[in-house]
Amino acid sequence: MATGVAAWLPFARAAAIGWMPVANCPMPVAPRDNSKRQDELIILNVSGRRFQTWRTTLDRYPDTLLGSSEKDFFYNDESKEYFFDRDPDAFRSILNFYRTGKLHYPRHECISAYDEELTFFGIIPEIIGDCCYEEYKDRKRENLERLQDDQEEHKDQKLPNMNFRQTMWRAFENPHTSTMALVFYYVTGFFIAISVITNVVETVPCGSTANQKDMPCGERYTVAFFCMDTACVMIFTVEYLLRLFAAPSRYRFMRSVMSIIDVVAILPYYIGLVMTNNEDVSGAFVTLRVFRVFRIFKFSRHSQGLRILGYTLKSCASELGFLLFSLTMAIIIFATVMFYAEKGSSSSKFTSIPASFWYTIVTMTTLGYGDMVPKTIAGKIFGSICSLSGVLVIALPVPVIVSNFSRIYHQNQRADKRRAQKKARLARIRISKSSGTNAFIQSKRNGPLNELLELTDKEEDEQKLMRSISLLESQHHHLLHCLEKTTAHEFVDEQLYQQNCLETALQAYPSRSPSVSSHESSVHTCCCRRVKRNTPLPNASLASAHQSSLQELSAIHIQCHDPLSHTASRSNLNLKTDNRSRINCKSGRITTAIISLPAPPALSPDGDGLHGPMQRRPPPPPSHPTTPSIPTTTSSAGTNIVKVSAL
Amino acid sequence: MGLDGMEIIAIAVVIGLFVFVLKQFGVWELVSLEDSCDSDLELSMVRHQPEGLDQLQAQTQFTRKELQSLYRGFKNECPSGLVDEETFKSIYSQFFPQGDATTYAHFLFNAFDMDRSGSIRFEDFVIGLSVLLRGSVTEKLRWAFNLYDINKDGYITKEEMMAIMTSIYDMMGRYTLPTVRDDSPFQHVEKFFQKMDRNRDGVVTIDEFIETCQKDENIMASMQLFENVI
């Protein structure tokens, strides 16, 4: 039942009294309406703009937010109104929906914003009235196309595990992926051009030899042209076979337009090879050479514009069909008329209606060769009408085709532009995000300091304010920290990570940690990771490695036991071990000033809150080299990190 | 040389085109200027304003607030203040999707449209509702009698009752259990007349109707059914 008619339900029920006298059996009991209350005005406060309406208006659509009890969640007791923190402009049309039963789409609204509002208020967009529905659907489709374009780029990402066949296919489809592909692309393009030019030049008269008249070049330099042709066909055949091999779905590839063009382009040559040179089939053979010109279509792989043109023609098929149909009708009509008009005149070229077709076509397309002209007055009158109407008939569908082409072309342009802009956009986004992560990492280092200060010196507010982070930030950082603890991994700075991974190969640290275990890989990764911590870590390449400057602080250093010793064998867990080692390192970073950290974390898994990161270490007692991540090197980014506790 | 067929046609075509061009320039108007006026007549639609709230309060049994609420709903659905028969039929049919409610809606429309104006105004609407919801049992029975009495002559004949009954059964539609047989309305009418028609004269008068109904417990009980609809 249409909800708009719900207002008439009481009336229909009342009118049911008319059935009572004729009824033979007793009536069922009516449902009780316990929530009988007087209709009241409800105030809806949407971002400060107050809307008021009757409660019954909202109750008309009980499956939406406003019509159901869901709005009670938004009730503000003090001000006795329902407060929604949404866009008041969009809310207007939503409230009008309740009032009039018709949902309208305001044209100036962004389509996705409007969709979100509708979803929030629980209204399905299909209810949009007919007046606005088309516009809504058009905008939605445009938006989807735009989003799809963005998603298609991800197709180009190189998947880690592509086999040779897939790589080759990707190289064929997108030449910019690798140098080889680019080379191949240009080579084929070059040979297509050569082939086409050869075909053309072949027919040019090359100058006469002494005894013969002008011969086309093809017949004069038969061998040369034959070699050229052979070379081109070789290349094309190889290309086709390679594509066939690399195609993910061979059957579909063979059916595609481009492959058919490829086949048609090279087939005449092979057929020519097979056929002998006898007279009766050579005629057919000559005809086959015409198909060589199809090689020019192979350029469409190289040119996007050509593809767009082809796609446009395909999408305008109906307009083209209409054009053709109307032209045919007009041609037949005018040809008939002209034939009968010119029948009387002598030596008329209009010998039959089909003969008049030629005149009509030439006239309607405003060519006017002049090989056939009407001579009678009637013929001339009708001829002029024919040419005038020809202009009209042709002019009508052309703008449709043009606008289609323009739309598709611009869409492509937009896609290219977006792709170019996307890189810049992503870079900017990355920067802003990394500054966020950096803040976290900074705060991690400073966190213990802050906490310590809080513990020790409550009066010194200014110190606390020195590193004032907002409550939101600190809560966020705490959350990230919890995640780190959960996974026993840590966040690090990307640049540092990369930088250090490079450096690790170059650095060598003499010091040797007491508990150095000869787990080069683990150490390596350990150092590698640690490097991110702004401390140039010892190079993992040295088994003995690193401990570096830790020596000085060895008294207070916590030995980072590296559980990696046990995981060294699992090479593919490098990443994990990295993190774990990092954690170790982290705990090892302790400055002398603050606290002397007790036993190595491995031994006291969770003894004190100061060994946060250790807790998640797997049981096997680590025996790892101390990770020299200690900021002995205050050199690191100048951050004098005081790490009291990891937690 | 005389003109032959094609030339005549050619000249005729030329003259036709000439006339056409002239018409386009507005030089020669074959059609009068009145065409453009047609559209203006559509603009003024019939509109109706109801009587004042006080008069309606006096005429009906509704409270002021109830009248306000009723009017708001009415005006929302019919902004012009009038319900014509087609709109009424379409609204009523939406409540009975399985069957065909148009005939019964027609009878209902006539029952509400007391002054036979062809459209229901708010006063008719609210007065009818007042009787149905707040009236005494006698008044309700009178209203029902008025509904059945199609030609409003004070007697319900078998044909009238047959029409009413058929329309009620039409609302049921085809998919019922047990299936509505072709003579179900007829049987029902027979039963009705057996009950109501005391003097067996083939018609039911208002007094017979009211008297019989008052004796029937079921009917009396069901009359109270919709007391609290508004």
Unique residue bearing structure tokens 């040809």: A335
A291 shares a domain with A329: no
CA distance linking residue A70 with residue A615, whole number of Å: 45
Contacts of A647 (CB under 8 A, 6+ apart): A481, A485, A609, A610, A611, A612, A613
CA distance linking residue A273 with residue A275, whole number of Å: 6
Interface check for B10 against chain A (CB to CB < 8 A): the answer is yes
Angle at A72 between CA A68 and CA A76, to 5 degrees: 145
- Rounded to a whole number, what is the distance in Å from the CA of B33 to chain A's nearest CA? 30
| CATH code where residue A73 lies | 3.30.710.10
Per the CB < 8 A criterion, the answer to whether A380 and A302 are in contact is no
CA distance linking residue B189 with residue B161, whole number of Å: 6
The amino acid present at B60, given as its one-letter code, is: T
Per the CB < 8 A criterion, the answer to whether B59 and B122 are in contact is no
CB burial readout B11-41, b (16+ within 10 A) else e = eeeeeeeeeeeeeeeeeeeeeeeeeeeeeee
Is the predicted pLDDT of residue A357 greater than 90, yes or no? Answer: yes
Per the CB < 8 A criterion, the answer to whether A626 and A632 are in contact is no
pLDDT at residue number A115: 92
pLDDT at residue number A625: 41
Interface check for B164 against chain A (CB to CB < 8 A): the answer is yes
Among A97-101, B10-14, B75-79, B196-200, the minimum mean pLDDT is found in B75-79
* Arithmetic mean of pLDDT, A393-400: 82
Q: Tell me the pLDDT tens digit for each residue of A111-169.
A: 999 999 999 998 988 888 888 888 898 888 888 877 776 666 555 556 666 788 888 88
A315 shares a domain with A296: no
In a domain, A114, yes or no: yes
Interface check for B171 against chain A (CB to CB < 8 A): the answer is no
Is the predicted pLDDT of residue A599 greater than 50, yes or no? Answer: no
Interface check for B162 against chain A (CB to CB < 8 A): the answer is no
Q: So what's the ipTM on this one?
A: 0.76
**A41 forms bridges with which residues in the sheet?**
A54
Q: Which of A20, A100, A378 sits opposite B6 (nearest CB)?
A: A378
Domain boundary among A429, A454, A469: A429
Domain boundary among A124, A157, A190: A157
Interface check for A20 against chain B (CB to CB < 8 A): the answer is yes
Domain boundary among A388, A404, A429: A429
For A263, phi then psi, to 5°, come to -65, -45
Domain boundaries, chain B: 5-27+60-229
CA distance linking residue A547 with residue A509, whole number of Å: 7
For A357, phi then psi, to 5°, come to -55, -45
User: pLDDT averaged over chain B?
Assistant: 82
Across the A/B interface, how many CB contacts are shorter than 8 Å? Answer: 118
For residue A26, give the chain B residue with the closest CA.
B218
CA distance linking residue A149 with residue A145, whole number of Å: 6
Asked if the Cβ–Cβ distance from B221 to A36 is below 8 Å, we say no
A298 shares a domain with A180: yes
| H or E stretch at B204 | strand B203-205
A91 shares a domain with A49: yes
Distances (CA, A) of A433 to A371, A436, A476, A481, A531: 75, 5, 14, 17, 21
**B203 forms bridges with which residues in the sheet?**
B157
CATH number of the domain at B5-27+60-229, please? 1.10.238.10
- Tell me what percent of the residues of chain A surpass a pLDDT of 70: 65
* Arithmetic mean of pLDDT, A233-246: 91
A384 shares a domain with A348: yes
Angle at A530 between CA A527 and CA A536, to 5 degrees: 80
pLDDT at residue number B56: 86
CA distance linking residue A351 with residue A41, whole number of Å: 87
In a domain, A322, yes or no: yes
The 3-state secondary structure of A87-121, one letter per residue: CHHHHHHHHHHHHHCCECCCCCCCHHHHHHHHHHC
Per the CB < 8 A criterion, the answer to whether B98 and B192 are in contact is no
Q: Tell me the pLDDT tens digit for each residue of A547-561.
A: 433 343 333 333 334
In a domain, A406, yes or no: yes
The amino acid present at A517, given as its one-letter code, is: S
Chain A residue numbers with beta carbons less than 8 Å from the beta carbon of B136 are none
Q: Tell me the pLDDT tens digit for each residue of A53-111.
A: 988 888 888 888 888 888 888 898 898 899 999 999 999 999 999 988 889 998 898 99
CA distance linking residue B185 with residue B100, whole number of Å: 15
A346 shares a domain with A265: no
In total, chain A counts a number of residues equal to 647
pLDDT at residue number A116: 92
If one counts the domains in chain A, the total is: 3
Classify strands B155-157 and B203-205 as parallel, antiparallel or unpaired: antiparallel
Distances (CA, A) of A431 to A424, A493, B165: 11, 12, 80
Can you tell me whether residue A541 is helix, strand or coil? Answer: coil
A187 shares a domain with A85: no
CA distance linking residue B213 with residue B211, whole number of Å: 5
Asked if the Cβ–Cβ distance from B73 to A7 is below 8 Å, we say yes
Interface check for A159 against chain B (CB to CB < 8 A): the answer is no
A224 shares a domain with A124: no
CA distance linking residue B223 with residue A638, whole number of Å: 92
Q: End-to-end distance of chain A based on CA atoms, in angstroms?
A: 61
Range of the domain at A203: 174-302
